[in-house]
Amino acid sequence: MKSKKLISVMIALCMLLSLGITGITATAFAADDPIVIGVISPNTGTLAAYGTGIVTGVQLAAEEINAAGGILGRQVELVITDDQGDPTECLNAFNSLVAKGVTLIIGSATSGCTSAITDAANEEEVCILCPTGTADSLTTEDDYIFRACYADSFQGAIAAAYAKQAGFEKVGVVYCAADVYSKGLFDSFSKACEEYGIEVAASQSTASLDVQDYTNQFAAMVSAGVDFVYAPYYYDVIGPYVVPQARAAGYTGIIMGADGYDTTPDYVVAGADLTVFNDVYWTNHYDPGADSEIVRSFVAAYEAAYGSIPSAFGATGYDCLYIYKAAMEAAGSADAGDVRDALADTSTVYECVTGTFSLDESGTPVKGAAIISFQSDGSAVTSTLVDVVTQLP
């Protein structure tokens, strides 16, 4: 009885003490110490698929960099933390990283989580490079925040421009009202449509990303008589749910999406009629089937390491570390302030898996979008590059 109580008191004390210790260990890093880079991502919970994608990408890059001699002669050490997709946990993870003395951070996966730490990062003067947070506002106001992906306003507008170019005057939209990514793309798409003089004839939404049935939404598209539907969702609903159900509902027109469609061919129902995936288009950072050396070697290395094809999360995570590397080498230092100045230099060109680009004043990549279509002969789905758009019309 007594020993049990003693143990529980001891454990409680240990926990309290370690809370203090987390901060005390923060010390200045000497020149030969490894460069510590923090990663914040949702590694468990409902968004775990995104987080593990980012972490595997960053880890692969770190292994490659370390094997090649590191950055500025110093090895890279990763501190991986989990935010479970929750803003509060994201802020906690950020604070504990900063308390440990980490000043370069990659994270987080979603705009919601990242926006919880952007101002804290400015206050603490810590660099944040966000792999997949697409909300426009993430980087605009902040000095220490950069990202490796498109902003929503660009990607949605590209899709609208494509619709215009293809001669559609009436389009429809199906999106998720409760998801920042989907909603953000919907907003920018409909805004661009207005600019281009395209009528958004039908707009349907779903309550959450857990919705299984999209038939009614697409039936509404059919009755509105549109032949072009913008459906910004992720691969895990596009493959099994959205496209087959849209076709079953009698919708035969074009379905257009964004980078969330990447890796959809791995999430289709084997044995079902896959010709439904014809006439599905999407915008992406890069063409996974492209012949560029850097993409090929990345995909091969990723497959060798993890036994699966990298998702867009893996690719942008991988790029983040290489962008940091380029910035540190340009700055000649791993100090957060110097790295920030290097990243803020809009003339630097980064050659990455997700394209060759520079960062604009706000810290968002300036790069073209690849428009890709799915093709299927019935047994498998393949992606084909349709067009590369570098500038908005």
Q: Which residues contact 159 (CB under 8 A, 6 or more apart)?
A: 185, 189, 192, 230, 256, 257, 258, 283
Using CB under 8 A as the binding rule, the residues of this chain from 46 to 75 that contact other proteins are 46-49, 51-52
- By C-beta, is 23 or 393 nearer to other proteins? 23
Q: Using CA atoms of 390, 162, 310, 207 in order, give the dihedral in degrees to the nearest 10.
A: 130
Under the binding rule (CB under 8 A), the answer on residue 114 touching other proteins is yes
- By C-beta, is 61 or 135 nearer to other proteins? 135
- By C-beta, is 136 or 387 nearer to other proteins? 136
Q: What SS3 class is residue 260?
A: helix
- By C-beta, is 169 or 187 nearer to other proteins? 187
Q: What SS3 class is residue 256?
A: strand
Total interface residues for other proteins by CB under 8 A = 93
- By C-beta, is 47 or 328 nearer to other proteins? 47
Measured N-to-C along each axis, helices 2-24 and 87-99 cross at an angle, to the nearest 10 degrees, of 70
Among 200, 237, 258, 312, binds other proteins (CB under 8 A): 237
What x/- string results for residues 248 through 287 when contact with other proteins is judged by CB under 8 A? xxx----------------xxxxxxx--------------
Q: Using CA atoms of 218, 221, 225, 228 in order, give the dihedral in degrees to the nearest 10.
A: -90
Give min distance, CB of 313 to other proteins, in A.
Answer: 11
Q: Which stretch binds other proteins (CB under 8 A): 95-103, 192-200, 333-341, 351-359?
A: 95-103
Q: Which stretch binds other proteins (CB under 8 A): 38-46, 57-65, 278-286, 287-295?
A: 38-46
Under the binding rule (CB under 8 A), the answer on residue 95 touching other proteins is yes
Under the binding rule (CB under 8 A), the answer on residue 88 touching other proteins is yes
Q: State phi, psi for 351 to the nearest 5 degrees.
A: -100, 110
Upper half-sphere CA count for residue 57 (Cβ side, 13 Å): 35
Task: Calculate the alpha carbon distances from 156 to 70, 136, 142, 231, 233 in Å.
Answer: 38, 11, 23, 11, 12
- By C-beta, is 137 or 348 nearer to other proteins? 137
Give which of 58, 50, 13, 7 is closest to 259, Cα–Cα: 50
Largest CA distance in the chain: 80
Using CB under 8 A as the binding rule, the residues of this chain from 337 to 356 that contact other proteins are none
Under the binding rule (CB under 8 A), the answer on residue 223 touching other proteins is yes
CA dist., res. 264 & res. 381, Å (int): 9
Beta carbons within 10 angstroms of residue 353's beta carbon: 27
Q: Which residue has the tokens 């997709």?
A: 85
Give min distance, CB of 77 to other proteins, in A.
Answer: 12
Give min distance, CB of 32 to other proteins, in A.
Answer: 21
Among 165, 216, 382, 384, binds other proteins (CB under 8 A): 216
Using CB under 8 A as the binding rule, the residues of this chain from 145 to 204 that contact other proteins are 176-180, 183-184, 187, 204
Angle at CA of residue 352, ends 106 and 158, nearest 5° = 95
CA dist., res. 49 & res. 18, Å (int): 31
Using CB under 8 A as the binding rule, the residues of this chain from 5 to 24 that contact other proteins are 14-16, 18-24
Under the binding rule (CB under 8 A), the answer on residue 124 touching other proteins is yes
Give min distance, CB of 214 to other proteins, in A.
Answer: 9
